[in-house]
Amino acid sequence: MYEFAVTPAVTNIRRRGVEISEVAPDSLGAEMDLESGDRIIKVNGRVVRDYLDFRFHTAGETDLVLEVRKKSGEDWEVELERSEGEDFGLAFEQIVPRQCANACIFCFCNGNPADARPSLFIKDEDVRLSFLYGNYTTLTSITEDEMRRIVEQRLSPQYVSVHATDLDVRAYLLGIDKERADISTKLSRLLDAGIEVHAQVVLCPGINDGEVLTKTIEDLAAEYPRITSVAIVPLGLTRYNTDARLTRVTPEFCREVIDQVGRIQKELHARLGTNFALLGDEIYLRAGRRIPARAHYGDYPQIEDGVGMVRSFKNEFAKLVRRLEREDWTSDGNKSGTIFTGTLFAPVLKEMIDDLNARFRMSLVVEPLENGYFGGDVSVAGLLTGQDLLSARDRVTGNFVCIPKQMLKSDDAIMLDGMKLSEVSRALGQPVHAVNLQELATLLLNKN
């Protein structure tokens, strides 16, 4: 596995340049006779490794020379002038993620069934994806090339999995030696260069909790505002995680963490004006405690990591309901359907939907969907499968079904077990809408 550590992450070593996947009609790209399948190799003499490079090298440039390897194998040199900010009308191939070189004891890959889709075993650790999508990296095997690129191209913010600032504990969790686990110099270099960093801790009972956690939060907070926030999310174990070093997260553990971190948040808020350390929604839900108020989360710095997502949804939903009430809106009387979601979030959603049913005379039912594929304490919506839905078909009522959008691949209507949305819809005998929380609110409360 270690060979990945020395593979330049930012270079596509097999094929030069970046491939164009789509050219918009009547765009600048179309005028230049560019086609999907062509590869842009250089811009004004500068090598292009991926679309971030293309974006960086073309930014602010009006006179451009592109070196293009055509799909046919010909090499073209294309000269063009464009007005400032004019779009090329080009879409590019997705970035192939760099693989990580760690052996984290809690790695999600260890929790996959042996026959899971190969994509579930991809251990991405890529600073480009961190910048683009908020994916976390550990910085343990970041190359000099990547470090320079983050700074030069301002790939900020970066999301960093710290887990513990105690070096022994970090090395143990990541399954690497202390020398590689120590990212203090790299982190300082990024922070000194003005790169914003958000940190993450995956909390493993008995390993990086208690005093180790307190120290981690305090060490990171010492760098505030250069380090903007730390998200603390619980370890999740499937039934396939049998590593004896790992202990399952219990409701009692979550309550202790809320109390411990609550005290630190209070102190940090008084000192820094921010809670800085934010607990994942899952911790409150597992603990059976109330989700904190809006102000607790500031500007929701790590909402995509499930930190404040529930609060944000509840507030947006309540706002929408209030607006409809002001407008004297009434349902068309045809809103009768089943909403499936993960077991942890289901009680929260049920309370909201029951309220909606009462206010607007709807007949919506929230059904918790157990995860039969991964089992264990996996209760998040993103890991549910088509089979899970089929095994709940007896619970479908009404004339439509909603499922969480995270159940689908980001670029295709396929679930983790390979089942297509259309197949599920046929099997359930109902239209199935895959929606995120905002889309769910709009779908249920539209005026049509």
Q: Which is nearer to ligand SF4, 103 or 191 (CB)?
A: 103
CB of 122 to ligand SF4, least distance (A): 8
The smaller minimum CB distance to ligand SF4, of residues 30 and 103, is found at 103
Compute the least distance from the CB of residue 448 to ligand SF4, in Å: 44
| Residue number, 23 or 100, with CB nearest to ligand SF4 | 100
Q: Which of 19, 32, 62, 29 is nearest to 44 (CA)?
A: 62
Beta-bridge partner residues of 78: 66
In the complex, the smallest distance separating the C-beta of residue 20 from ligand SF4, rounded to whole angstroms, is 30
Which of residues 204 and 321 has its CB atom nearest to ligand SF4 in the complex? 204
How far is residue 421's CA from residue 434's CA, in Å, rounded to a whole number? 8
CB of 141 to ligand SF4, least distance (A): 9
Q: Which is nearer to ligand SF4, 106 or 297 (CB)?
A: 106
Q: Is 339 left (phi over 0), alpha (psi -120 to 50) or beta?
A: beta
Q: Which stretches of the chain bind ligand SF4, using CB under 6 A?
A: 100, 102-104, 107, 109, 123, 125, 138
**Rounded to the nearest whole angstrom, what is the least distance from the CB of residue 102 to ligand SF4 in the complex?**
4
Q: Of 104 and 366, which has the nearer Cβ to ligand SF4?
A: 104
Residue whose pair of structure tokens reads 């020379």 in the numeric block: 65
For residue 140, the minimal CB distance to ligand SF4 (Å) is 8
Starting at the edge strand found earlier in the chain, the sheet holding 432-435 runs 363-369, 336-342, 401-404, 432-435
- Residue 303 DSSP label: G
Minimum distance from residue 8 beta carbon to ligand SF4 (Å): 18
Q: Quick check: 112 and 242 in contact, CB under 8 A?
A: no
Measured from the Cβ of residue 24, the count of other Cβ atoms closer than 10 Å reads: 13
Closest CB to ligand SF4 among residues 89, 175: 175
